[in-house]
Amino acid sequence: MNSRLGIFLLLIIMVVLTGCATVPSSKVHYTVKQNPDSRPLQQVVLLPVDIDVYEMSAGGVREEVPEWSSAAESNIRSALLVSKDDSGKCCVTRHVDSSSLTSDEKAIVEEHLALFNTVAANVLWTSAPVNNAWHFKTGHFDYTLGDGLSFLKTKYDIDAGLIIVGEDVVSSAGRKTTAFVGAMFGVAVPLGHSILMGGLVDFSTGDVLWMNHEVSAGGTDLRDPESCLDLARSLTKDYPGLNSANDNTSQTGN
């Protein structure tokens, strides 16, 4: 597993299993709730997607398959570029072309993608049923990554970016056989899961304008484009419908 994703993904599994899935998962920055027109975003891009795909053996050992991870990332990128909200608008129409960034800029983007995982983990933790004292943060959602990505606005004229991280665990044939035999004796054997976490970040301020997570308990295969499209649409179903993106291209898009 990508080391910067490990704690975050373990936390999301824990939160879901403890009942947080019964609480609305989609969260919107309080300023957008108060005034949807307060964040007029014209140029929104998809930042580098980070999906890890594992094969789980009969004994429950997980091993990442790089080819599967690359396929899942490509599928998610394609799915999000066509996934539409209720207004019929795409969430994003293009993704960042990293080759247009300097080495220092690429490093800054990577740092903030890692920071997003920390922020997302904190959001999930404060939403957990055991943390009642922090549930007010869901109604007054005001998380930020800081203004370190503001150069994407000032230099490249990009208003905001969509960040997507996640993992997919695929059961091997032996694992499926173990689950079948276990079921005959009343023993439940988990067959994997798919998890996506997404956030929309305002580059001018670093504010996280929207965040959501989606979990599928073994019914989704991110190696399959159609399966990815279904999960992406589920993830973005509560996307706030900001004036999100148009078909213009810029120095960092394609």
> 109-114: long-range contacts at Cβ-Cβ below 8 A with a sequence spacing of 24 or more?
109/47, 109/48, 109/149, 111/148, 112/145, 112/146, 112/148, 112/149, 112/201, 113/4, 113/47, 113/48, 113/50, 113/163, 113/165, 114/4
pLDDT tens digits along 181-191: 888 878 777 77
pLDDT tens digits along 205-229: 999 999 998 888 777 889 999 988 8
> 190-194: long-range contacts at Cβ-Cβ below 8 A with a sequence spacing of 24 or more?
190/218, 191/218, 192/56, 192/168, 192/218, 193/13, 193/168, 193/169, 193/217, 193/218, 194/166, 194/167, 194/168, 194/169, 194/218, 194/219, 194/220, 194/221, 194/222, 194/231
Any residues with CB less than 8 A from the CB of 12 and at least 6 apart, and which? 120, 121, 124, 195, 197, 213, 215
Q: Is 67 helix (H, G, I), strand (E, B) or coil?
A: helix
DSSP label at residue 236: T
Residue with tokens 């305002």: 202
Indicate the domain borders of the chain. Answer: 3-19+27-235
Compute the C-alpha angle 76/32/125, nearest 5°.
65
**Cα separation, 201 vs 209, whole angstroms:** 6
The pLDDT, as a whole number, for residue 12 is 57
Residue with tokens 């072309």: 97
Cβ atoms of 199 and 28 within 8 Å: the answer is no
Report which residue type is found at 42.
Q
Cα torsion 180, 182, 188, 190: sign: negative
Q: 118: closest CA among 144, 86, 99, 92?
A: 144
Total H helices, total E strands in the chain: 8, 7
Report which residue type is found at 168.
D
Give, for all 254 residues of the chain, the pLDDT tens digit: 444 455 455 555 555 555 544 455 788 899 888 887 787 777 888 898 989 999 888 787 888 999 999 999 999 988 887 655 445 454 566 777 778 889 999 999 999 998 998 888 888 777 777 777 777 887 889 999 999 999 999 988 888 899 998 889 888 778 778 777 888 878 777 777 888 889 999 999 999 999 998 888 777 889 999 988 888 888 887 776 543 333 333 334 44
Cβ atoms of 203 and 56 within 8 Å: the answer is no
What are the structure tokens assigned to 135, written together? 């549930």
Any residues with CB less than 8 A from the CB of 10 and at least 6 apart, and which? none
Reported pTM: 0.79
**Cα separation, 222 vs 172, whole angstroms:** 15
